[in-house]
């Protein structure tokens, strides 16, 4: 794949690792647009369910994915626990991932660059991104974060159920044939288990600063 002209930051990692918050903060720090690619899959899953479709039907899911537009991603329903489960189920379908590929790469190709967070940004979507982070945390820590988030949204759910969801999604995302979740070989691992969000932001910023310096030194002229 041709290296991007702008400065692209690829942020990957499992659910509730903190990658979304870090991507948003990095976008603000560097003045770059941010795409939460997980919302694309949540939108496909929720859209398919609303249409009465089958989440395990690759053809039906692909049709919803091909009709998706970036401006469709603001629905609060995409932030729910059910939407996360639906996203994980439709994300296993190769045709769905292929349908969303151009949209994601188009976002990354903006002249100044972009920040994209997801599960295969550094391995499939933007393998030539100058900055790659793989953000993770223990399943227990991630489950507690997601549980608190869901409570704040008014969803009544037990912590144990959220932890089971996290473990199930990890296994599905890492084990799928199409673009399995894994760190890119040149990604920098950032474990946020014992970090506050401010500490994690500072660590991510330092990783990106080092990558930006290398990128600027390698540019012609």
pLDDT for residue 114 is more than 80: yes
Other CB atoms within a 10 A radius of the CB of residue 185 amount to 9
- pLDDT cut 70: percent of the chain above it: 98
Report the alpha-carbon distance of residue 41 to residue 112 in Å, rounded: 25
Q: pTM, whole model, 2 decimals?
A: 0.90
Burial of residue 71 (number of CB atoms within 10 Å: 0-12, 13-18, 19+)? exposed
pLDDT for residue 3 is more than 80: no
Could you report the per-residue pLDDT of 14-47, keeping only the tens digit for each? 989 999 999 999 999 999 999 999 999 999 999 9
The yes/no answer on whether domain 7-213 falls in CATH 3.40.50.300 is: yes
- pLDDT cut 90: percent of the chain above it: 81
Domain positions in the chain: 7-213
Residue 11 pairs with which residues in a beta bridge?
117, 133
Edge-to-edge strand list for the sheet holding 188-191:
34-36, 113-118, 7-12, 131-136, 188-191
Q: 75 and 46 in contact (C-beta within 8 Å)?
A: yes
User: Which is it for strands 188-191 and 131-136: parallel, antiparallel or unpaired?
Assistant: parallel
Report the alpha-carbon distance of residue 176 to residue 82 in Å, rounded: 20
CA-derived radius of gyration, the chain: 17
């Amino acid at each position: 794949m041709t290296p991007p002209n702008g400065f692209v930051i690829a942020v990957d990692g499992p659910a509730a690792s903190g990658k979304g918050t870090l991507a948003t903060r990095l976008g603000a720090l560097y003045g770059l647009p941010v795409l939460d690619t997980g919302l694309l899959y949540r939108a496909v899953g929720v859209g398919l369910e609303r249409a009465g479709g089958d989440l395990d039907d690759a053809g039906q899911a692909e049709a919803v994915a091909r009709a998706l537009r970036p401006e469709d991603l603001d629905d609060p329903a995409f932030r729910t626990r059910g939407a996360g489960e639906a996203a994980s189920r439709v994300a296993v379908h190769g045709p769905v991932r292929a349908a969303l590929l151009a949209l994601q790469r188009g976002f990354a190709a903006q002249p100044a660059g972009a920040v994209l967070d997801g599960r295969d940004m550094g391995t499939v979507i933007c393998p030539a991104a100058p900055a790659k982070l793989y953000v993770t945390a223990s399943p227990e820590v991630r489950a507690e974060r997601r549980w608190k988030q869901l409570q704040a949204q008014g969803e009544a759910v037990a912590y144990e159920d959220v932890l089971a969801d996290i473990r199930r999604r990890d296994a599905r995302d890492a084990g799928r044939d199409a673009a399995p979740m894994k760190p890119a070989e040149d990604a920098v691992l950032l474990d946020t288990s014992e970090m506050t969000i401010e500490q994690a932001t500072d660590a991510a910023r330092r990783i990106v600063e080092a990558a930006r310096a290398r990128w600027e030194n390698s540019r012609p002229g």
